[in-house]
Amino acid sequence: MKNTELIDKLNVLLSDYQIYYQNLRGFHWNIQGKHFFQLHEKFEELYLDTAAKVDDIAERILTIDGKPLHSFEDYVSTSTIKAKKNVHDGEGAVSGIKSDLEELVKLQTEIKDMAGEAGDNATEDLMIGYNEFQQKVHWMMKAWLK
């Protein structure tokens, strides 16, 4: 496998995270209803974590001699995650987060496997750590929806 394939996948992941981040910000700003305080705080926790991951991914791409995407036009055209608009209710927001996490974990698992095959232990470890955290958040979102 060439580094370019891994870099391309990491740029898709970077794009996914940028859209996921914007979705979380929108949920944080626009949430209404009886779970406002609980969800407003949780969404902030998640978007702050996501912002740190965006930086980590871009820096990882640079570390393996790639160029990270950096325009919203590129993010929108590359991302597998879609923007969620006009979501004000807890169920809609939590369902949106749950589906975004499913996409992220799927892609991160693919990148982890590619990195392992390429002997890129640092990228592999990064993806393992992300999946561990996001699988837990996914479980919490599923539990909240029940």
Give residue-wise pLDDT tens across range 44-68: 999 999 999 999 999 999 999 999 9
Q: Domain total for the chain? A: 1
The model's confidence at residue 2, banded by pLDDT at 50, 70 and 90, is: low
CA distance to 47, 121, 136, 138, per residue, from 90 (Å): 16, 38, 19, 15
Range of the domain at 65: 3-145
User: Helices marked H in 34-120 — which ranges?
Assistant: 36-63, 72-78, 90-118
CATH of the domain at 117: 1.20.1260.10
Residue the block writes with tokens 């590359």: 78
Angle at CA of residue 59, ends 26 and 75, nearest 5°: 40
**How confident is the model over 117-142, as a mean pLDDT?**
97
